Amino acid sequence: MFEINELVNFAQGNMGAASFLNQLSKHDAIESIIILMTIKNNDELRGAKLWVLYKDLGNMDLDRVYELCAHTPHNILVEACSRSDRSGLELVSPYCTASTPG
């Protein structure tokens, strides 16, 4: 499906992003594929932005990350991941039915 070199490229040396990508290998296969396809189809979602997606927007919950990837328009998701001050939560909250992390 995805080669290790591709995943390393996604992480861009960010250990948090690498940890997030590693967690996907232990998660539901269908949800993981949707998350990875979202990342693959958005060249801007790399490195630190993936860490923001997982840690800040997803609250380190892969089910929430899946929901964000499946329902948030790509341009809004990229913008939200660009905000390391957690203000991106306001952008994605209309697209996620899970409770907003606090």
Given this model, what pLDDT does residue 4 score?
84
Provide the pLDDT for residue 5.
Answer: 87
The yes-or-no verdict on residue 69 having pLDDT over 80 is: yes
pLDDT tens digits, 35-58: 999 999 999 999 999 999 999 999
The reported pLDDT for the residue numbered 99 is 56
Write down the pLDDT at residue 24: 94
Position 54 scores a pLDDT of 98
- Give the CA count within 13 Å in the CB-facing half-sphere of 92: 34
